[in-house]
Structure 1
Amino acid sequence: MARHIMTLTCDDRPGIVAAVSSALLQVSANIIENQQYSDEDTNLFFMRTVFDCNAADVERVRQAIATSPAVVSAALSVRPADERCRTIILVSKFDHCLLDLLHRWKSGDLPIDIVGVVSNHEDCRGLVEYYGLPFTVIPVTPDTKAAAEGQLLEMVAAHDVGLVVLARYMQILSDGLCRELAGRAINIHHSFLPGFKGAKPYHQAHDRGVKLIGASAHYVTADLDEGPIIEQDVVRVTHAETPERLVAIGRDVERRVLSRAVRDHAESRVFLAGRRTIVF
């Protein structure tokens, strides 16, 4: 018996759960974990199921679900639960989110395989090489941006990358690159979106005298800081904090939020529903 993760998105209608359960019962599979949600706004049904069955029976399960009359317009995936998401991390000069991801990866807390780190600066080379990972510098200027993004996409294809993490990568991706990486690029923004988008959000927050600051991890889209939000968190602050102090306080929130979002994506817990996400 091998453990598998099934994800299903389809039109919402009666009989979906029965169809999935029947398909699993036919091969004597054992359901370990199950979450489901019917979204009334989109009329879509979302389901994540973890089950044990013989590896040879997985295709029978997939076919039985896909051909069921109850499952319409389906996006269906079944993968081994121990399959790790191949990941590239993008970083500029701020290394706190990168360091947290590397530590969690090395200690086995994140179910990802980091195949390399890409930066537009040399600053993080020593840290990355300490962890035994390849570090690639791809400088980005207005004149070289297209070529730089092309080089990045070549790396993504060559390493069969399923996730690109922008760990305080201070470059705006082109519309074309955003489309190429749709649904598999996560950015950490250092504010509680949708407030304080763009540059220097902590300074914006200080200027408005907010009493909560936060961080948001979201999928990257062509609209800056507008992508579907995966994870958020906040911390309370006071009027006495300077912008520099807000930056320091925010680093810990950014680390936590980004690592949770990466874990959720790697464990196939995140479903896209228009501009929103469903996270099990």
Structure 2
Amino acid sequence: MLAIIIIGDEILSGQVSDENLPFMIERFSRAGYAPREVRIIGDNVALISRTVQELLRSYSYVVTAGGVGPTHDDLTHAGVAAAFGVGLEAHPHMMRFLGATAGSDLPPNVKRMAMLPRGSEVIGGDDGHWPIIRKRNCFMLPGLPHALRDKIPRLVALLPRLSPAWDAAVYLNADEVLFADWLDELQRSHSEVSIGSYPVVHHPDFRTRITISATDPQAVGSVTAQIERYARDKNWHVRTQNPVSRGGVSDGA
């Protein structure tokens, strides 16, 4: 459904720690658009172009973060333009935005930020905050965390409304190797939910955390109850986190 590309040599080199990805995943997931794939790539036009093309063949939307500034290594716009087979052009809306924030006599390095893939849409910016740049189903966001974060709710509002995901968890005082085969069969018989199993370390009471996720809270509740019954039949200690929407709303269970 949706994929994310984090762009920046500084991320890959370890000079800068990425702060955007966890926030983006959490906010998109809350809206029902849990990312299906994430890639972190460097500042290279051919690489950006190829990555955008590959992801758009598999997903409905691609969101990029980073590489939209005024320096020589800010190449996201050029890479996305190449992915769509178009050139760059000075976008009048972006020129007005930059003029309002940087003055009417824009230096060349500032003007280059207005060079967008031909046919792009500039969304927002009238409030003085950096706008969202959209080329069809590819959205380009700034890499600075404070500039990116207020864009996500606005971007989500542009997408078709989906049912949010619901999550539950069951904690057990048993190692996952003891029930892995049974859990595999449970997943095969309930393809409408996603079941995960993860070791719990440094906890005095529990050894494994099982997660159950789906857009249908009743399906999540049903599978959670089956896991609880199985564990209690084994006389294992169980603690359950009832289904909660990623929008933060409990089902009341």
TM-score by length of 1: 0.32
- Structure richer in strand, relative to its length: 1
Highest CA radius of gyration, 1 or 2? Answer: 2
